Amino acid sequence: RDILYVGDTARVPYGNKSAEMVTAYSREIIHFLKKKGADRIVVACNTASALAVGKLRDSASVPLHGMIESGVRAALEVAGSGPVGVIGTSATIASGAYQTALSQLRPDWKILAQATPLLAPLVEESWLEGEVTEKVVRRYLEPMMREKIRVLVLACTHYPLLKGVLGKVLGGGVRLVDSS
């Protein structure tokens, strides 16, 4: 099978854009991929998954898969009794997509969500470790660490590249869940 890939490097980051803008970009990319013959589309961006997939699924006329379901499924497999943390772009966290999906399946879980808008730019700059990255991660995760999260869902496809520093800051008792 052929795999077609679109990396929208001209308009990233999506995480600080409006839902309308992300949906418009996603609609354009879906149209482009369908013109190229795509018979199934995976939206491999958590922000686009959170903001656009639900709105575009019916009109896409091909199966459209987002990241939210896989991230939630992975969290369910390892989380035990929680509490569960979710980090992502400002738009992903503001959408409530992960929080809602997790709460619907496990209403007993305490879910802590934190927008972490500086992490994707750090990854883009290849600042995957070091003092600055560690301080930024620690600052974002301090509230979750106080709540003793057991699982952290990485709700941005950039964040798995930060697993080393995330693990160092959180310690070995927290499972990292990669939504991809």
- Walk along the chain (180 residues) and give the pLDDT tens digit of each residue: 789 999 998 998 898 899 999 999 999 999 999 999 999 999 999 999 999 999 999 999 999 999 999 999 999 988 777 799 999 999 999 999 999 999 999 999 899 999 999 999 999 999 999 999 999 999 999 999 999 999 999 999 999 999 999 999 999 889 999 987
* Cis peptide bond prior to 107, omega within 30° of 0: no
Given 29, 52, 153, 156, which residue is catalytic?
156
Please tell me which residue in 45, 72, 84, 91 is annotated as part of the active site: 45
Angstrom distance (rounded) from CA 40 to CA 86:
28
| Residue 45 annotated as catalytic | yes
Catalytic: 156?
A: yes
Q: Which structure tokens are listed for 5? A: 């890939």
